[in-house]
């Protein structure tokens, strides 16, 4: 089954404790991205990657890091989480080549609470 998986689905942590949210896709997509979703603010892009070893900042990259060492994986790293990073996080992937507006496939989300 074609899918994007994220782990963990739920995480409660404390300020300053480094954490990683993993994302993996099995569709051989070149493009992967991370979003955060907050009430009233919609989906905002944190980082995206167009291929292995190629990453770029989205609209709200501060406080986050990513890496793309393999095509299928795109982990999101919070080196020193703060309470304002409490949010619902989504990983997504899509093909690059072809027509405009290729469908993005989203993971199930990770609900993060930073105390």
Site for another protein in 71-110 (CB under 8 A): 90, 92, 96-104, 106-109
3 state SS of 84 = helix
Nearer to another protein, 37 or 86 (CB): 37
Nearer to another protein, 14 or 43 (CB): 43
The Cα–Cα gap between 73 and 52 comes to 9
Rg for the chain (alpha carbons), in Å?
A: 14
Site for another protein in 19-48 (CB under 8 A): 30-31, 35, 40-45, 48
Positions touching another protein (CB under 8 A) are 4, 30-31, 35, 40-45, 48, 50, 90, 92, 96-104, 106-109
């Amino acid at each position: 089954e074609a899918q994007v998986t994220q782990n963990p689905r739920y995480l409660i942590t404390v300020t300053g404790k480094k954490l990683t949210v993993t994302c993996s896709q099995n569709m051989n997509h070149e493009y992967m991205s991370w979003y955060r979703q907050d009430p009233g603010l919609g989906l905002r892009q944190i980082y995206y990657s167009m291929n292995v070893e190629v990453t770029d900042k989205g609209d709200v990259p501060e406080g986050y890091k990513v890496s793309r060492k393999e095509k299928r994986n795109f982990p999101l790293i919070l080196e020193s989480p703060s309470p304002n990073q409490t949010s619902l996080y989504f990983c997504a992937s899509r093909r690059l080549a072809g027509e405009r507006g290729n469908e993005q496939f989203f993971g199930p989300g990770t609900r993060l609470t930073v105390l």
